[in-house]
Amino acid sequence: DGGITQSPKYLFRKEGQNVTLSCEQNLNHDAMYWYRQDPGQGLRLIYYSQIVNDFQKGDIAEGYSVSREKKESFPLTVTSAQKNPTAFYLCASSIGALSYEQYFGPGTRLTVT
Amino acid sequence: DAKTTQPPSMDCAEGRAANLPCNHSTISGNEYVYWYRQIHSQGPQYIIHGLKNNETNEMASLIITEDRKSSTLILPHATLRDTAVYYCIVRVPNNDMRFGAGTRLTVKP
């Protein structure tokens, strides 16, 4: 089955540690995205990538970093510089940046204490 | 992207049509209207999109007013599994999605 996978579903970390969230897609999509969602709120864009080896900052990129070395993979690192890292993180992909529809993964709930 | 306004919550009886409104009075000519939904603790799911004409697919219908300042998502026969937060978004295709708080639809037996 084609789709987007994010692992793990739940992640716990101590404050001051960097943590990397995985996102893999086998849809052959060029564009990939990372969003953050806080309780009761909509999604906010962290980073997006339209093509391999290229990515752009979204609205709330501070404290996060990404890489896009392979078309299928777009990992997100939450660094210790992120002030409020506890959130629900969603990865998405689309055929291209011009496409109408984004496909979302199941999300990773990160808790930092 | 144009801002959208949606009611924070709505209820619907199971088996009845759910009509979810969205205001987007500042929409520009090249912006599409998209609807996504998010079931609790899952990723959002695409439902439908349109530019000017009404659209229908296997999930829902989208009715866009002639002046394009508002739209309505219609779930013709709501089931309990349609309980979710529904997001109305307006964007041009090469811009990122801007999700607001959406409408929390509760389908009741």
Task: Please check whether residue A83 is in contact with residue A94, taking contact to mean a CB–CB distance below 8 angstroms.
Answer: no
- A32 or B95: which carries more pLDDT confidence? A32
Q: Which of B12, B16, B1, B4 is nearest to B70 (CA)?
A: B4
Note whether B86 contacts A: Cβ–Cβ < 8 A. no
Which pLDDT belongs to residue B1?
Answer: 58
The answer to whether B56 faces chain A, any CB pair under 8 Å, is no
- What pLDDT is stored for residue A1 in this prediction? 57
Tens digits of per-residue pLDDT, A80-110?
888 899 999 999 999 887 676 889 999 999 9
Per-residue pLDDT, A81? 87
d(CA A97, CA A7): 24
Contact B103, B7 (CB under 8 A): yes
**Backbone φ/ψ region at A107: left (φ over 0), alpha (ψ -120 to 50), beta:** left
pLDDT digits (tens, 9 = 90+) for A42-75: 889 999 999 999 999 998 999 999 999 999 999 9
Least CB–CB distance from B96: residue in A40, A58, A99: A58
- Which residues, given as ranges, of chain B have pLDDT below 70? 1-2, 93-95
User: Measured between alpha carbons, how far is A83 from A73 in angstroms, rounded to an integer?
Assistant: 26
Please state, as a whole number, how many other Cβ atoms lie within 10 Å of the Cβ of residue A51.
Answer: 13
Question: Given A44, A58, A106, which is nearest B42 (Cβ)?
Answer: A106
CA atoms within 13 A on the CB side of B53: 2
What residue has token string 């205001």? B23
How many angstroms separate the CA of residue B68 from the nearest CA in chain A? 18
Reply yes or no: is the peptide bond before residue A85 cis, omega within 30 of 0.
no
Q: What is the pLDDT of residue B3?
A: 85
* Ordered strands of the A64-66 beta sheet: A4-7, A19-25, A76-78, A64-66
Coil, strand or helix at B109: coil
Please check whether residue B104 touches A, CB under 8 A: no
To 10 degrees, the CA torsion angle through B107, B47, A42, A40? 10
Does residue B44 belong to the interface with chain A, where contact is any CB pair within 8 Å?
A: yes
Which residues on B lie below 8 Å from A99 (Cβ)?
93
Q: Which of A104, A108, A111 to mutate to test the interface with B (most CBs of B within 10 A)?
A: A104
Interface with chain A: mutation pick from B45, B47, B87, B99, highest number of A CBs within 10 Å: B99
pLDDT the model gives residue A98: 66
